[in-house]
């Protein structure tokens, strides 16, 4: 066997011992270079670069825009553009692009040259201030959800100066990428970034009212939200990936019988990272460091072949942009190590899926984390107000929060294998639960302390113990000084869930601020404030405590208990998308200036359409695999069994065993063919109805038929010789590292 196998040379059956050559340490010789040395932020047009390259006045003006959210002075655009161009050129860039995030959920870029030959032996600059701040790509092929007709192609991109421009390196080619918002000719948002930025403004406006009440607004211009998104992903061998049409086309296995051993022994989680994977991670990190993305944590996740990468938190807008770069980098670097990164929520049945734990908090622009309980939390009334606003917001808008993570991929993950259920609830932990109980009784006078853990040996340090445990079953868990929203799927652009979180918390802050302002009046008397806070928070807790649940969210009892409490349980995406069309949700987004009714309707239409298209592709792919791979293999085996029976009989043997085997296999084969027919009868037959109705039909009819077909296929796999089975098994996919 040659040392470096290419996909075409690999027959993906159990008889290919491994696509990894053991003589090169399992790395196919790719480990020859040492881990790259990080070059932090070298490819970012950062604050430091701007300070160095821009005239003082221009720099100051731009900084005001970035720090304080002030409107950009158009007069400075030319100066900034010229500095940016020079800097990019010095780093090898030949082109620039407005980098934006259309409603596909991906990123988009159209490159233009920074300079052209002027026809006279010289150079003509084609990048001015105007080109920096605005672009006009042909937008006709991006989803608009009916915001405009296909012939109305004009779309505009607008520079977001709060997210730094960066250089994208691909081979020898370097491109200057300018993060932008993307809007239609009519000014409606066609992207994920615009509503996210609007939602931060909405939350800021309301949070500032609370700070003003408490007199803690000195020097604060705005409140932003922060995000640290932990990204889970799988790695599979490149050759196996290409030999499985379902992975190549759908990013998940549509068939596949769980291997005898997968995650039962918990021997992969936090285990030593395989060498090839480590070198992959090192290159990913080095690439991201150049782009200024502060990725900090790496480890093996629960399922075999599953890993995690997590950055340090940043302002949500920048963090979301960086998160897109993290996903792109994972996907781009993996093939260089003979691997493929799977970002799908559920690539493999029967083992953990992948999420994107969305760690979220609120922070002033002076750096105060508003969800930090600090010591003696019971005296930290301002914190309690922000905490109660989160509790109220999540309870009141639980269905919308659920809708924020709806997707065809996440449907396979939520509620299965260590993923939170579709019921939204909040985990607070012992210390805060105790405080909330005190709030409900009207007054707070103690904070539970954590104390120390004594390990019983003098040589070991005493460990400070937190006053509350963790709860990894909860979809929305307080984790010390932030909330961790665990329901978000691994493949999504986190801009959308954060847009929703910001909006619902803006609403509840607004409600609380309005009541407090009314009760306290204009003189801001501290006694009156304290009494008002006690009253308002008491009522808030009474009204919304049903959303607090510290127990096991995976248990069946919780499902029953949640139903008793009246918490929504939108089991699939089709049901969740419907929430976006409810009149009160439409008004919510409109009231806080996050999305107009038309913009929201467009999103609902696009989500439904994406869901239908994705499931449709999966159904087609299943039929293709069934008819061209699995059924022929099974038929061949059935033929073999039949000839064994015939020859056994001809030899004068009783042949009972062989005949039994043949009949059993025939039954499985028939069941599989029948289930294939059932799916085939449904494909392309969705009702001519509104997108929401089509999604419901898919969830109720097509998906169950596909699940039955898969089950039948997986039964066949268990009884078909590995030499005949046409695709790589779970054992190979998950254990070739």
Contact between 482 and ligand ADP per CB under 6 A: yes
Shortest Å, Cβ 494 to ligand ADP: 12
Backbone angles phi, psi at 239, to 5 degrees: -65, -45
Q: Exactly one of 48, 116, 124, 312 binds ligand ADP (CB under 6 A); which one? A: 312
Among ligand ADP, Mg ion, none, what binds residue 694 when CB lies within 5 to 8 Å by partner kind?
none
Part in contact with ligand ADP (CB under 6 A); list of ranges 22-30, 323-331, 336-344, 475-483: 475-483
Cα 37–chain centre separation: 28
Backbone φ and ψ of 634, nearest 5°: -65, -40
359 binds ligand ADP (CB under 6 A): yes
User: Binding to ligand ADP by residue 306, rule CB under 6 A?
Assistant: no
429 backbone φψ class: left, alpha, beta (φ>0; ψ -120 to 50): left
Closer residue to ligand ADP, CB minimum distance, 178 or 330: 330
Residue of the chain from 25, 125, 481, 569 that contacts ligand ADP (CB under 6 A): 481
Q: Candidates 226, 317, 410, 508: give the one binding ligand ADP (CB under 6 A).
A: 226
Partner from ligand ADP, Mg ion, none binding residue 295, C-beta < 5-8 Å depending on class? none
Which of 145, 228 has the CB closer to ligand ADP? 228
CA dihedral 680, 683, 684, 687 (to 10 degrees): 120
Q: Does 310 bind ligand ADP (CB under 6 A)?
A: yes
- From residue 376 to residue 415, the character string flagging contacts with Mg ion as x (rule: CB under 5 A) and all else as - is ----------------------------------------
| Helix 56-68 and helix 77-90, axial crossing angle in degrees, nearest 10 | 100
DSSP string for residues in 558-587? HHHHHHHHT--B--SHHHHHGGGGSHHHHH
* Among positions 228, 393, 409, 497, the unique one binding ligand ADP when judged by CB under 6 A: 228
Quick one: 230 or 395, whose CB is closer to ligand ADP? 230
Interaxial angle between packed helices 381-396 and 526-544, expressed in degrees from 0 to 180 and rounded to the nearest 10: 30
* CA distances to 86, 166, 357, 359 from 224, in Å: 32, 23, 19, 14
Q: Are 99 and 180 within 8 A, CB to CB? A: yes
C-alpha torsion sign, points 236, 238, 243, 249:
positive
Q: Which residues contact 303 (CB under 8 A, 6 or more apart)?
A: 234, 262, 263, 268, 348, 351, 352, 734
User: Interface with ligand ADP includes 323 (CB under 6 A)?
Assistant: no
Q: Which of 184, 206, 361, 444 binds ligand ADP (CB under 6 A)?
A: 361
Q: Which range of residues in 135-143, 223-231, 376-384, 621-629 is near ligand ADP by CB under 6 A?
A: 223-231
Residue nearest to ligand ADP (CB): 228
- Closer of 503 and 695 to ligand ADP (Cβ): 503
Stretch that binds ligand ADP, among 135-143, 353-361, 557-565, 667-675 (CB under 6 A): 353-361
* β-strands 295-300, 173-184 pairing: unpaired
Query: Bridge-partner residues for 176, per DSSP?
Result: 96, 167
Buried/exposed code over 260-277 (b: 16+ C-beta within 10 A; e: otherwise): eebbeeeebeeeebbebb
The binding track of 329-368 with respect to Mg ion, each residue x by CB under 5 A or -, is: ----------------------------x-----------
Q: Which of 456, 405, 403 is nearest to 568 (CA)?
A: 403
The piece of 38-46, 47-55, 479-487, 622-630 that touches ligand ADP (CB under 6 A) is: 479-487
Q: Which does 361 bind (CB under 5 to 8 A by kind): ligand ADP, Mg ion, none?
A: ligand ADP
Q: Which chain residues interact with ligand ADP by CB under 6 A?
A: 226-228, 230, 310-313, 359-361, 369, 479, 481-482
* Interface ranges with Mg ion (CB under 5 A): 357
């Amino acid at each position: 066997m040659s040392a470096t196998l290419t996909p075409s040379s690999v027959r993906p059956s159990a008889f290919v011992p491994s696509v990894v050559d053991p003589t090169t340490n399992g790395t196919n010789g790719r480990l020859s270079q040492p881990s790259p040395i990080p070059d932090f932020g070298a490819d970012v047009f950062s604050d430091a670069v701007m300070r160095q390259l821009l005239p003082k006045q221009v720099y100051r003006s731009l900084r005001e825009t970035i720090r304080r959210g002030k409107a950009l002075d158009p007069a400075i655009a030319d100066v900034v553009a010229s500095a940016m161009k020079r800097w990019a050129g010095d780093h090898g860039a030949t082109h620039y692009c407005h980098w934006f995030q259309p409603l596909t959920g991906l990123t988009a870029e159209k490159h233009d040259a920074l300079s052209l030959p002027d026809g006279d032996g010289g150079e003509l600059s084609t990048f001015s201030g105007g080109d920096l701040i605005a672009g006009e790509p042909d937008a006709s092929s991006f989803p608009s959800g009916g915001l405009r007709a296909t012939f109305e192609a004009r779309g505009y991109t607008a520079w977001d100066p709060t997210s730094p421009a960066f250089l994208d390196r691909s081979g020898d080619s370097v491109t200057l990428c300018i993060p932008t918002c993307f809007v239609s000719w009519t000014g409606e948002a066609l992207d994920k970034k615009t509503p996210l930025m609007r939602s931060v403004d909405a939350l800021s406006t309301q949070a500032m009212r609370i700070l003003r009440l408490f007199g803690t607004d000195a020097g604060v211009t705005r409140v932003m939200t922060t995000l640290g998104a932990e990204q889970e992903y799988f790695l599979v061998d490149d050759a196996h990936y290409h030999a499985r049409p379902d992975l190549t086309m759908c990013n998940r296995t549509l068939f596949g019988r769980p291997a005898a051993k997968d995650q039962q022994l918990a021997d992969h989680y936090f285990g030593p990272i395989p060498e090839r994977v480590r070198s992959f991670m090192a290159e990913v990190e080095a690439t991201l460091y150049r782009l200024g993305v502060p990725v900090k944590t790496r480890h093996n996740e629960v399922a075999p072949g599953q890993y995690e990468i997590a950055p340090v938190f940043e302002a949500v807008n920048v963090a979301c942009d960086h998160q897109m770069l993290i996903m792109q980098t994972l996907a781009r670097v993996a093939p260089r190590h003979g691997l493929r990164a799977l970002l799908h929520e559920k690539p493999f049945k029967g083992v953990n899926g992948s999420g994107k734990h969305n760690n979220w908090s609120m922070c002033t622009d002076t750096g105060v984390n508003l969800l930090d309980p600090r010591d003696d939390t019971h005296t930290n009334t301002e914190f309690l107000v922000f905490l109660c606003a989160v509790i109220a917001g999540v309870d009141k808008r639980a269905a919308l929060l659920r809708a924020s993570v709806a997707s065809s991929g996440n449907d396979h993950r939520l509620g299965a294998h260590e993923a939170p259920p579709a019921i939204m609830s909040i985990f607070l932990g012992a210390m805060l639960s105790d405080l909330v109980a005190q709030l409900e009784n009207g007054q707070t006078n103690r904070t539970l302390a954590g104390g120390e853990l004594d390990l019983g040996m003098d040589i070991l340090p005493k460990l400070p113990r937190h006053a509350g445990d963790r709860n990894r079953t909860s979809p929305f868990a307080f984790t010390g000084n932030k909330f961790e929203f665990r329901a978000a799927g691994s493949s999504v652009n986190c801009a959308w869930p954060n847009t929703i979180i910001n909006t619902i918390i803006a609403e509840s802050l607004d409600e609380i601020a309005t009541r407090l302002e009314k009760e306290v009046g204009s003189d801001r008397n501290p006694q009156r404030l304290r009494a008002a806070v006690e009253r308002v928070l008491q009522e808030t807790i009474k009204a919304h405590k049903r959303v607090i649940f510290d127990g096991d969210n995976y248990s069946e009892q919780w499902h029953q208990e949640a139903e008793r409490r009246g918490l929504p349980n939108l089991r699939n995406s089709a049901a969740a998308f419907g929430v976006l069309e409810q009149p009160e949700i439409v008004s919510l987004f409109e009231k806080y200036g996050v999305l107009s009714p038309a913009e929201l309707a467009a999103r609902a239409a696009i989500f439904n359409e994406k869901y239908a298209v994705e499931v449709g592709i999966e159904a087609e792919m299943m039929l293709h695999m069934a008819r061209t791979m699995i059924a022929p293999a099974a038929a061949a085996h059935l033929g073999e069994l039949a000839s064994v029976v015939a020859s056994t009989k001809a030899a004068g043997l009783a042949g009972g065993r062989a005949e039994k085997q043949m009949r059993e296999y025939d039954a499985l084969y028939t069941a599989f063919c029948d289930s294939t027919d059932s799916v085939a009868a449904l494909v392309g037959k969705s009702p001519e109805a509104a997108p929401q109705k089509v999604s419901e039909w898919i969830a109720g009819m097509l998906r169950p038929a596909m699940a039955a077909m898969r089950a039948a296929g997986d039964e066949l796999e268990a009884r078909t010789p590995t030499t005949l089975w046409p695709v790589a098994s779970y054992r190979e996919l998950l254990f070739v590292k």
